[in-house]
């Protein structure tokens, strides 16, 4: 069952003043005619080189930027229309970014960080502390972390707290935008294993944005490749053979992976 659907999505940014008053501003197409679907409970990887439009796509899906043309539908409802209010949208979709330090308010301890979304989205919930402990358990941290502040956490632990914060609203989809890129390979693998377990338990869909094909392969059943704003191909796990890649950039990406 389709959860998220992008139909011919294009995003143009103005990149400078118009030369003459009757001319249009010059624009850059960061995303061009992208079609993409994420099924309920699946993990879709989105890989591509720097500047290929991956983060722009994440911002469009989260309605943090407006689309120039096309449609983004969540269970058939337009995310950028009036059908879904932003609050409802963020109840259903969460975004986890690379820079966990920017996402965690430094003056709040972990329990305050996790209680905030619970209070916002489940105001009737009285047992917030136990819920926080459960969230920490999901991300494999024990209850002693509740009293810690972000500066008292390692990069991997901060990322786990960001994931717990996203899980606190019980979303249907989490978008990870280079969320584990700054961690070393063992920490990345451990978080990926953890995400797989959470997905099995909670049936959450993931859109996993990365420039690292290897981590996308570990987590995702399908991988889409972006190149210069376009989605050039999507392969399923069964087709992860170098020969199957059609686009020269995907072939290069796969070759680089095999050289590592």
Ligand X SMILES: Nc1ncnc2c1ncn2[C@@H]1O[C@H](COP(=O)(O)OP(=O)(O)OP(=O)(O)O)[C@@H](O)[C@H]1O
What is the binding site for ligand X (CB under 6 A)?
A: 13, 15, 28, 30, 48, 50-56, 211
Q: How far is the CB of 64 from ligand X (least distance, A)?
A: 11
Q: How far is the CB of 250 from ligand X (least distance, A)?
A: 15
CA distances from 89 to 17, 64, 106, 124, 185 (A): 34, 11, 26, 20, 32
Q: Please, which residue, 60 or 114, has the CB nearer to ligand X?
A: 60
Cα separation, 226 vs 28, in Å, equals 16
Cα 183–chain centre separation: 16
Q: How far is the CB of 248 from ligand X (least distance, A)?
A: 18
Q: Please, which residue, 140 or 230, has the CB nearer to ligand X?
A: 230
Q: Please, which residue, 100 or 157, has the CB nearer to ligand X?
A: 100
Q: Please, which residue, 199 or 228, has the CB nearer to ligand X?
A: 228
Identify any residues that bridge with 57 across adjacent strands, giving them in sequence order.
none
3-state secondary structure 84-121: CCHHHHHHHEEEECCCHHHHCCCCCCHHHHHHHHHHHH
Cα separation, 31 vs 229, in Å, equals 4
Q: How far is the CB of 214 from ligand X (least distance, A)?
A: 16
Query: What is the β-pairing status of strands 2-14 and 173-177?
Result: unpaired
Q: Please, which residue, 133 or 226, has the CB nearer to ligand X?
A: 226
Cα separation, 149 vs 213, in Å, equals 33
Q: Please, which residue, 50 or 126, has the CB nearer to ligand X?
A: 50
27, 14 Cβ separation under 8 angstroms? yes
Residue found under tokens 């890989």 = 47
Q: How far is the CB of 161 from ligand X (least distance, A)?
A: 22
Q: How far is the CB of 53 from ligand X (least distance, A)?
A: 4
160, 110 Cβ separation under 8 angstroms? no
174, 94 Cβ separation under 8 angstroms? yes
Q: Please, which residue, 46 or 133, has the CB nearer to ligand X?
A: 46
Q: How far is the CB of 239 from ligand X (least distance, A)?
A: 23
Find the helix or strand (DSSP H, E) in which 3 lies: strand 2-14
Q: What angle do CA 20, 23, 26 make, to 5 degrees?
A: 100
Q: Is 12 helix (H, G, I), strand (E, B) or coil?
A: strand
């Amino acid at each position: 069952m389709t959860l998220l659907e992008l139909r011919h999505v294009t995003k143009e940014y103005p990149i400078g003043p118009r030369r003459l008053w009757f001319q249009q501003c010059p624009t850059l197409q960061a995303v061009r005619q992208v079609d993409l679907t994420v099924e309920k409970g699946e993990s879709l990887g989105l890989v591509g080189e720097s500047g290929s439009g991956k983060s722009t796509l994440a911002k469009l899906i989260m309605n943090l930027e407006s689309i120039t043309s096309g449609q983004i539908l969540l269970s058939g409802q337009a995310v950028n229309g009036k059908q879904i209010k932003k609050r409802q949208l963020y109840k259903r979709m969460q975004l986890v970014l690379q820079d966990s330090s920017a996402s965690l308010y430094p003056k709040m301890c972990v329990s305050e960080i996790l209680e905030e979304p619970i209070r916002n989205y489940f105001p009737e919930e009285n047992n917030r502390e136990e819920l926080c402990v459960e969230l920490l358990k999901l991300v494999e941290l024990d209850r002693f972390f509740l009293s810690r502040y972000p500066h008292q956490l390692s990069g991997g632990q901060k990322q786990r707290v960001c994931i717990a914060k996203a899980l606190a609203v019980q979303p249907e989809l989490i978008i990870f935008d280079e969320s584990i890129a700054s961690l070393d390979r063992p920490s990345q693998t451990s978080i990926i294993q953890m995400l797989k377990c959470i997905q099995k338990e909670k049936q959450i869909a993931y859109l996993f944005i990365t420039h690292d094909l290897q981590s996308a392969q570990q987590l995702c059943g399908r991988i889409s490749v972006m190149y210069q704003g376009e989605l050039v191909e999507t392969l399923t796990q069964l087709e992860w053979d170098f020969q199957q890649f059609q686009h020269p950039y995907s072939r290069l990406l796969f070759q680089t992976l095999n050289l590592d």
